[in-house]
Structure 1
Amino acid sequence: MLAGMTLNPSPQGEPLSVGFVLLHRFTLLPFAAFVDCLRLAADEGDRSRPLHCHWTFMTSTGQEAVSSCGAAISPCLSFREPAEFDYIVVIGGVQDERDRADTTALAYLRQAASAGVPLVGLCTGVFALIQAGLMTGRRCCVSWYHHRDMVQRFPAIQPVADRLYIDDGDRLTCAGGAAAADLAAYLVERHLGKAWAMKSLHIMLLDEARAGTQPQPQPVVFGKIEDRLVRRAIAVLEQHLGEAISMEALAERVGTSRRNLERRFQETLGVGPQKFARDLRLRYGVWLLHYTGKSITEIGERCGFADTAHFSRHFRSAFGMPPSEMRKRAGEPGGDRVDPFFLHIEGRPAL
C-alpha cells in the first residue's frame, strides 16, 4: 500500500515550490486537483507535511480568495517575490465579469515573466495571461467550453481545445477541470521523480497521468441561438450525448410541453428536437472517431445508439460514408481532421 511506502525524492532536488494566484471567483476543481497532487507528493503516506513540495496561496489584497462556488480559501498572502517559486499558477474565475480585471495581479504576472519564472494558466487563468500580454506568439490551451469566448474576445490568439494541456517552456496552459491533476503530476515527475507523481495519483484514485496531447472529452458546441427555451433544451441534450432522451422527458426538463418544444425547434432551427438530438449525437461520434482510439462499437454506444449497425446506418445517411471510412480518411497522410461544428447533415448546414 502506498501509505506504507518509503520514497526518496529525486537527487536533483530542491523542494518544488509553487505560488498560486487566485483571481476573483476562481474555479475550485482545477485548484483543488493541482494543489492536492502537490500535497500528496510532498510527504510519505498522507501526512501532508510540505517537505518535498511547498505552495503559497496569494491574492492581490492578501485577503481570502472566494471561489466561483462560494468556498473561500484562507489564509492567503499578498504577492511574494516571484523568484521564490519554481512556478506561478494563475487560476481564473467566471467569464461573465470581464470588467473586473485584476490589474494588480496582471502586473504581478508580468513581473514574474520578467524574472523568468514559468507561468501556468489553469482553466480561465489563461485569459489573465493573455490580458497581461504574455501569450503573444504562444500556443494556448483552453477548455472546449471557453473556446468560442476566447476567439471572440482575443481574435489574435489561436486557442487549442483538442488537448488537455500544453507545455510551451515557460508558459504552460491547461484546459482545467480534472486535467489540472495531470499537469501537476507532470511537473511533480519532472522535479521529484515518477514514483512521487504516481503516489499522488493513486491516492487520488487515478490510474495514471494523462499526456497533455490526450484529447478533451469534447461535445459539440453550437452558435448563438436566440430562443432561450431552445438553448436550454440543447444544453440538456449536450449533457445526455450518451443516451437517447425522450422528447417528453426533455420537454419536462425545460418546463414546457412536447408540442411547444417541437414547434419552437422547428421555428428556430428548421428541424424537430428528436432529429436535432440524433444529429448532435452523430456529430459527437465524428469527434470521437477523429480524436480518440475508441472502437466504432464503443463510439456507437457512447453516442447512445442501440448497436453498431444502428449507429453505422444513421452515420452513413448523415455523412455519406460509414464511420470506418471517415476514420480511415482522417488517418491518411495529409488527411484533415473534421470539426463536427462545420459538418453538413443531410444537406442542412451545421448550426
Structure 2
Amino acid sequence: MTPGATFNRSSQGEPLSVGFVLLHRFTLLPFAAFVDCLRLAADEGDRSRQLRCHWTFMTSTGEPAASSCGASITPCQPFRDPQEFDYIVVIGGVLDDADRADTTALAYLRRAANAQVPLVGLCTGAFALIQAGLMTGRRCCVSWYHHRDMIQRFPTIEPVADRLFVDDGDRLTCAGGSAGADLAAYLVERHLGKAWAMKSLRIMLLDEARIGAHPQPQPVVFGKIEDRLVRRSIAVLEQHLGEPISMETLAERVGTSRRNLERRFRETLGVGPQKFARDLRLRYGLWLLHYTGKSVTEIGERCGFADTAHFSRHFRSAFGMPPSEMRKRAEEPGSDRVDPFFLHIESRPAV
C-alpha cells in the first residue's frame, strides 16, 4: 500500500474508525493529542459525538490502561476484530528492560497486519511493531530521545529521527509527543477533508498541521543565561543553525552594536559570539551524526559550513576526532561518547 492511499471504508462515506492498543505505562501526550484531533473532527463544535470518527480503546485484558504518569484510561475493551477499523494505533510506554513484552498485544498486531489493516506506531509503539516482526524493510520514525535505545535493541532496524512521522503505506510511525496531533490531522484530512483537520487543530490552539518531514526539535543549548541580550542572541543563533549569520546582522536583530554584543558575550560566557555560533553549529552537526544517516558532506552543508574540509577541520578541533570516526564510535555498544544533546553553558558570575 503506497503512502497517501485512501482506504475503502472512508471513501464510501463511512466514519473514520480507529482502534487504540494501549500498552502498559503508555505515554499520555501522543495518545491525547491523537484522539482529541479525532474527537474534534468527529462532530460539530465541541460536542464529542462519534459521528465522523469512531474510536475504541483496547487492552490485552480489557481492563483500564495505566499511563506512564499514573492516569488511567477507561473504559477499555478486549481486542476486537481488526477489520472493524481503518487504522489500529499502538501506543507504547516507558522503555524498561524489566517489563516483558505484551505477547497478546503483539499477536493482535500481527493479526491486524494479516488482515491488511494499516498500523500506526505512536511514540514507543514503534518498538511494539518491531517486536511483532512487522517493520522488516520499513522506515521507522522514532524520537531523537529513543534513537539510541532502538539501535541497541534492534540493530537491524534503521530509525529515522530527524522528522515527525513517516507514512510507509500500511505502516505509519510517529516520534510521539505533540506530533501525535500532526499525524492525526494528516489522517483526518485524508479521509474527511482539510476543513475538518483544520477545525480540530484550531480548537486545539494549533495553527496548522506540520508535515511528516518537518524536523524534530533538536535540543542544543541548555543553561541559565542571566544577560537578556545574550539570551536573545542565542535564540536567534538557534534559528540559524543551517547558515552562518554575520555578527553585524545578529547585533542589528537584537538592537545593539557589534562591539557591545561581543563585549556582553565575553563578559557572560567567556567567548565571543562568532565562536559561540560556530560551536553551536558544530554541536548540531554532532547531533546529526548520532541521530541521522546523512553523510558527513550533507551534515556539513546543513550546519552552514562552506565545504566538508572546513566542517571536518573545525569538528576535529572541537571534539578531538574527525566526524567519520565520531560516527563509528557512536555506533559501538557501550562506547564513551561526547554528549550530542546539549551545549552546556553557564553565565559567568558578575564581578
Same fold (TM over 0.5): yes
CA displacement 1:207-232 (0-9 Å, x = unmatched): 00001100000125xxxxxxxxxxxx
Aligned CA distance change for structure 1 residues 318 and 85 (closer, same or farther; 3 Å): closer
Aligned to 2:293: none
Aligned to 1:212: 212
Aligned to 2:90: 90
CA distance in 2, matches of 1:132, 1:11: 29
CA contact (8 A) 2:166 2:212 kept: yes
Aligned to 1:266: none
Cα distance, 1:315 vs structure 2: 3.4
Secondary structure of 1:244's partner? coil
Aligned to 1:271: none
Cα distance, 1:99 vs structure 2: 3.6
Aligned CA distance change for structure 1 residues 311 and 160 (closer, same or farther; 3 Å): farther
CA contact (8 A) 2:166 2:173 kept: yes
- Letter aligned with residue 215 of structure 1: P
Aligned to 2:174: 174
Aligned CA distance change for structure 1 residues 330 and 217 (closer, same or farther; 3 Å): closer
CA contact (8 A) 1:12 1:191 kept: no
Aligned to 1:140: 140
Is 2:241 the counterpart of 1:289? yes
Aligned to 2:52: 52
CA distance in 2, matches of 1:54, 1:339: 51
Secondary structure of 1:289's partner? coil
Secondary structure of 1:346's partner? helix
- Letter aligned with residue 206 of structure 1: L
Aligned to 1:112: 112
Aligned CA distance change for structure 1 residues 245 and 130 (closer, same or farther; 3 Å): farther
CA contact (8 A) 1:64 1:72 kept: yes
CA contact (8 A) 1:123 1:177 kept: yes
Cα distance, 1:14 vs structure 2: 1.2
- Letter aligned with residue 21 of structure 1: V
Aligned CA distance change for structure 1 residues 72 and 297 (closer, same or farther; 3 Å): farther
RMSD, aligned CA: 3.9
TM-score (norm 1): 0.69
CA contact (8 A) 2:281 2:303 kept: no
CA distance in 1, matches of 2:164, 2:18: 20
Aligned to 2:155: 155
Pairing partner for 1:348 from 306, 320, 324: 320
Aligned to 2:7: none
Cα distance, 1:50 vs structure 2: 0.2
Which structure has more relative contact order (CA 8 Å, sep 6+)? It is 2
CA distance in 1, matches of 2:311, 2:76: 42
Q: Which runs of 5+ in 1 are unaligned?
A: 1-9, 221-236, 247-280
CA distance in 2, matches of 1:22, 1:339: 45
Is 2:285 the counterpart of 1:313? no
- Letter aligned with residue 244 of structure 1: I
CA displacement 1:121-152 (0-9 Å, x = unmatched): 00000000000000000000000000011111
Is 2:199 the counterpart of 1:199? yes
Cα distance, 1:317 vs structure 2: 7.1
- Letter aligned with residue 125 of structure 1: G
- Letter aligned with residue 314 of structure 1: F
Q: Provide the aligned length of Structure 1 versus Structure 2.
A: 275
CA distance in 1, matches of 2:79, 2:152: 31
CA distance in 2, matches of 1:120, 1:197: 18
CA contact (8 A) 2:241 2:303 kept: no
Aligned to 2:331: none
Aligned to 1:329: 301
CA distance in 2, matches of 1:174, 1:81: 24
CA distance in 2, matches of 1:100, 1:62: 18
CA contact (8 A) 1:23 1:90 kept: yes
Aligned CA distance change for structure 1 residues 159 and 98 (closer, same or farther; 3 Å): farther
1:223-262 to structure 2, matched below 5 A, reads 238=222, 240=223, 243-244=224-225
Aligned CA distance change for structure 1 residues 56 and 328 (closer, same or farther; 3 Å): same
CA distance in 2, matches of 1:146, 1:319: 22
Aligned CA distance change for structure 1 residues 93 and 289 (closer, same or farther; 3 Å): same
Cα distance, 1:188 vs structure 2: 0.2
Aligned to 1:188: 188
- Letter aligned with residue 142 of structure 2: V
Aligned to 1:65: 65
Aligned CA distance change for structure 1 residues 98 and 85 (closer, same or farther; 3 Å): farther
Aligned to 1:229: none
- Letter aligned with residue 83 of structure 1: Q
CA distance in 1, matches of 2:238, 2:316: 12
Cα distance, 1:313 vs structure 2: 3.4
CA distance in 2, matches of 1:317, 1:219: 14
Percentage identity across paired residues of the two chains: 68
Cα distance, 1:13 vs structure 2: 2.3
Secondary structure of 1:13's partner? coil
